[in-house]
């Protein structure tokens, strides 16, 4: 008798057509729209965007990548740790202004200490929430064992609209989402729930898509054709509790010495949605 053939079929790595439409030729359009972005509130001169996430996910690299897009060159606005120490390189609360053509754009990105799964390590839930609500002053040094409280020097009692976060961006590593510690996910969900009660829009930027999928590593434009990236986003949606249309896959600048249009479009598309979510929050008022 002949050997029976296996009926197992390997799952395809690429969909026949992209599962999310994106025009990779729209960089100039997106740049123009963001450069000319007009705030809908008269009492604010810029939108504050808080960037948070686990240690090593690419939080500070995302901030640098946004700066790179508008500067048209590789920059280092936020300090990035190139060694895998397992602990956050960001120790102080920092605001990064985004400039283009010598002028400040009407939004800033704020960097915080990275989250860690263990208690009393990395940024505390309380500090992330306080940062989002505008209660933390610039250059505050995070202390995982002693979160900021109202009686301390760096507590901002009466934050202005510009000092508050009008959108919270979680940075999640696509290449490790499968193995993310449950305690870390619990922290993310706790922050999400606390800030949802305050009406603050929240978005996930999923980094390192090239490291998560060989197809995308070979061709970044395949990001929305990749079955693996869609699986990663579905898993992220389930774990953190965010809808798929609030998750944006990107590749941060890391090894490059020149900017790249495909990288730029993915970053600009995510930023465009972040800013419109934040501005919608302004329109609703009661902040």
CATH number of the domain where residue 200 is located: 3.40.50.300
Output 197 or 88, whichever has higher pLDDT. Answer: 197
- Give me the phi and psi of 193, to 5 degrees please: -65, -40
Per-residue pLDDT, averaged over 150-174, amounts to 95
Supply the DSSP symbol for 122. Answer: B
pLDDT at 83: 45
Q: Which residues contact 184 (CB under 8 A, 6 or more apart)?
A: 54, 115, 116, 117
Is the pLDDT at 88 greater than 90? The verdict is no
pLDDT at 110: 97
Q: Considering its fold, how many domains does the chain have in total?
A: 1
pLDDT at 284: 84
Share of the chain above pLDDT 90, in %: 82
Residue 121: count other Cβ atoms within 10 Å of its Cβ. 17
Question: Is residue 1, in this structure, part of any structural domain at all?
Answer: no
Question: Is residue 13, in this structure, part of any structural domain at all?
Answer: no
How far are the Cα atoms of 129, 154, 240 from residue 190, in angstroms, in the given order? 10, 24, 9
Question: Is residue 38, in this structure, part of any structural domain at all?
Answer: no
Question: Is residue 20, in this structure, part of any structural domain at all?
Answer: no
226-238 pLDDT tens trace? 999 999 999 999 9
Concatenate the DSSP letters of all residues of 211-235 into one string: HH-HHHHH-GGGTTTBHHHHHHHHH
Question: Is residue 4, in this structure, part of any structural domain at all?
Answer: no
Output 21 or 285, whichever has higher pLDDT. Answer: 21
32-74 pLDDT tens trace? 999 999 988 888 889 999 999 999 999 999 999 999 999 999 9
pLDDT-derived band at 3 (thresholds 50, 70, 90) equals low
Q: Which domain holds residue 73?
A: 26-33+43-284
Mean per-residue pLDDT over the chain, rounded = 91
Question: Is residue 261, in this structure, part of any structural domain at all?
Answer: yes
What's the Rg (C-alpha) of the chain? Answer: 20
pLDDT-derived band at 76 (thresholds 50, 70, 90) equals confident
Output 222 or 7, whichever has higher pLDDT. Answer: 222
């Amino acid at each position: 008798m002949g050997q029976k053939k296996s009926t197992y079929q390997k799952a395809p790595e690429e969909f026949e057509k992209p599962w999310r439409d994106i025009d990779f030729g729209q960089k100039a359009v997106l740049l123009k729209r963001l450069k000319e972005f007009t705030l809908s509130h008269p009492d604010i001169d810029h939108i504050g965007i808080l960037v948070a996430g686990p240690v090593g996910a690419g939080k500070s690299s995302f901030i640098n990548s946004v700066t790179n897009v508008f500067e048209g060159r590789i920059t280092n606005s936020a300090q990035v740790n190139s060694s895998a120490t397992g602990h956050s390189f960001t120790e102080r609360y920092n605001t990064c202004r985004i400039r283009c053509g010598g002028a400040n754009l009407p939004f800033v990105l704020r960097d915080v200490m990275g989250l860690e799964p263990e208690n009393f390590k990395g940024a505390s839930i309380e500090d992330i929430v306080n940062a989002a609500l505008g209660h933390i002053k610039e250059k505050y040094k995070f202390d995982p064992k002693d979160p900021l409280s109202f009686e301390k020097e760096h507590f901002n009692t009466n934050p202005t609209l510009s000092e508050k976060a009008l959108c919270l961006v979680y940075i999640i590593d696509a290449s490790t989402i499968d193995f993310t510690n449950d305690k870390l996910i619990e922290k993310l969900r706790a922050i999400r729930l606390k800030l949802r009660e305050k009406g603050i829009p929240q978005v996930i930027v999923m980094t390192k898509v090239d490291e998560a999928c060989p197809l995308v590593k070979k061709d970044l434009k395949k990001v929305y054709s990749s079955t693996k990236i869609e699986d990663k986003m579905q898993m992220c949606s389930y774990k953190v509790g965010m809808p798929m249309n609030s998750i944006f896959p990107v590749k941060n600048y890391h090894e490059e010495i020149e900017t790249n249009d495909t990288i730029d479009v993915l970053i600009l598309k995510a930023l465009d949605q972040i800013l419109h979510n934040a501005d919608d929050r302004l329109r609703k008022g009661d902040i």
